[in-house]
Amino acid sequence: MIELIMDTGENKKNDFIREIIREDLKTEKYGKKVHTRFPPEPNGYLHIGHAKSICLNFSIAEEFGGRCNLRFDDTNPEKEEEEYVNSIKEDIKWLGFDWEDREYYASDYFEQLYDFAVVLIKKGKAFVCDLTAEEISEYRGTLTAPGKESPYRNRTAEENLRLFAEMREGKYPNGAKVLRAKIDMVSPNLNMRDPVIYRILHSSHHRTGNKWCIYPTYDWAHGQSDSIEGITHSICTLEFEVHRPLYDWFIEQLGIHHPRQIEFARLNLTYTVMSKRRLLELVEEKHVSGWDDPRMPTISGMRRRGYPSEAIRNFCSRIGVAKTESTADMALLEHFVRDILNKSASRVMGVMRPLKVVIDNYPEGKTEELSAVNNPEDPSAGTRKILFSKVIYIEKDDFMEEPPKKFYRLAPGREVRLRYAYFIKCISAAKDSEGRVTELHCTYDPATKGGDAPDGRKVKATLHWVSATHCITAEARLYNSLFVKENPLDIPEGGNFKETLNPESLETLPECRVEPSLTGAKSGTVYQFERLGYFCVDADASDKKLVFNRTVTLKDDWAKIKNSGGLK
């Protein structure tokens, strides 16, 4: 279970990263400035885990009167695309953050990074190695066994400079040579055992074209790019903690501005995976419709599903930052989604699985205008007119021919209230040849207009409905968890995480009925369908066909868990 931490401003402001920054400002380690950066790789769409890092880096800069750069770590042209660059920028802006004019790329610094490598070679701290990737891995050793030195480790600086220049000139094929740092092959930290800092890659880059055929590794480009930009605090996820000695070693050898790397635990979320590689598999193998499929944990998927950006920011603030790995419950994220939508979403009526109801004693051809509240949480949202007629639709689930105890909705001889309209009583049910109910016949009480009986009689259920004469046919897509397991990666050895995909993660209902006020509803607009949940107009919607994605149901599992004391 998840430990409950109250969402107070004090908790938000007093995590260990902010304490480090306050101390650095007090001692003027970097003067009086704070400069952070968000450095995504443009090799996929961002997910909710990246949202935590975005919120952290940009918020810290804002809180301390500093700046935050957006820098693309575009050092692997084989996996990077301009599409990913554009999607990342769109996601950050949608979350509410602005990098102003500070949009940078590691590729901006390719020449400088090459010159830095030359400095290391001249100092005898880097060498060109002819071992294959497999041999380098074999020579590296293990956590319990030391590595052994490459036979090319003691080349002269002059030879290394010549070979490195020839690598740049394209004289060698992929994999023929690499440039490695010369550190310590018996270090207990495997990252310090002569790591590769340049590799040959004859591949066109999305920004530099074919200018380069050697590309820096992430470990080489990361710290030096931070230094070039004057970053003060390089905030990374916890897996980079073991890389920090290397980050520091490179900068110290070059004698350049030295940012402080700080690591925090990444975000893990139940019923999903946080790996661009695995998410790419789902996209390429068509388990989902794309990166922005509303079942995906990507920011674009959550946006398409109808999640408000404010809800994601509040969620990231609520879970905070720590040094130990933990998993957040998807129910907590949905709790924040409901919290925002409850205040902002207009209420409407829609019927997912329509059941026809004929009100026998209602005048033929008559149409009434009834007044409905747009949002009870926001009086300024006003009211709207809804139309009532002799034939309406209700939910199939709101009728049972032989109801069990505690089923208070419509049944033969039973009276219920129609939202904003009248009391109706079921008289009979028509069935098809297979015995399925296809149509109800009811009567209404004209004296109960608006939902109350003048004689004081009570009913135990209020149903939503739409007028059959005036409603619009729409498609609804009901989304559930993409995986059936809380941790999709908790699988037997040799298993595949895709075996835990939920076959019922999407249910499509093509014959829904919604009230006519939704005519022309704009893509991205979220409504509360009364009694059903929050629904967002999908990008697939058109003038000819409305399509709604269910954002979340009305039931708040997190609030239920919290109030029951079931958190530990």
Q: What is d(CA 349, CA 166) in angstroms, rounded to the nearest whole number? A: 70
CA separation, residue 362 to residues 291, 386, 388, 424, 442 (Å): 50, 17, 10, 11, 9
Contacts of 194 (CB under 8 A, 6+ apart): 129, 147, 149, 150, 153, 180, 181, 182, 183, 184, 185
Does residue 89 carry a catalytic annotation? no
Query: Pick from 476, 518, 481: which is nearest to 500 by CA?
Result: 481
- Going through 73-181 in order, the beta strands assigned E by DSSP cover 103-105, 126-129, 178-181
Q: What is the DSSP letter of 475?
A: E
Terminal-to-terminal C-alpha distance of the chain: 6
∠ Cα 344 345 346 (to 5°): 120
Backbone angles phi, psi at 346, to 5 degrees: -70, 145
Q: Calculate ∠ Cα 49-331-94, nearest 5°.
A: 45
Q: Which residue has the tokens 């297979």?
A: 434
| Sequence-distant (≥ 6) Cβ neighbours of residue 119 within 8 angstroms | 253, 254
Q: Tokens representing 459?
A: 């009913």
Q: Could you tell me which residues come within 8 angstroms of residue 478 by beta carbon, excluding any fewer than 6 positions away?
A: 352, 506, 507, 508, 509, 550
Catalytic-role residue among 37, 177, 244, 276: 276
* Residue tagged active-site, from 33, 79, 266, 485: 266
What does the DSSP 8-state code read for residue 262? E
Report the DSSP beta bridge partners of residue 327.
268
Q: Catalytic residue, from 29, 33, 41, 419: name it.
A: 41
* Largest separation between any pair of C-alpha atoms in the chain: 102
- Indicate the SS3 state at residue 150: coil
Local structure of 508: helix, strand or coil: strand
Alpha-carbon distance 187 to 192, whole Å? Answer: 6
What is the residue type of 505? S
Dihedral angle of Cα 303, 263, 327, 67, to the nearest 10 degrees: -30
266 is catalytic: yes
Q: Report which DSSP code applies to 423.
A: E
List, in order, residues 6 or more apart from 314 with CB less than 8 Å away: 7, 336, 339, 340
Q: Are β-strands 472-479 and 546-552 bridged in parallel, bridged antiparallel, or unpaired?
A: parallel
Q: Is 41 a catalytic residue?
A: yes
Bridge partners of residue 418, in order along the sequence: 463
Indicate which residues carry an active-site annotation: 41, 266, 276
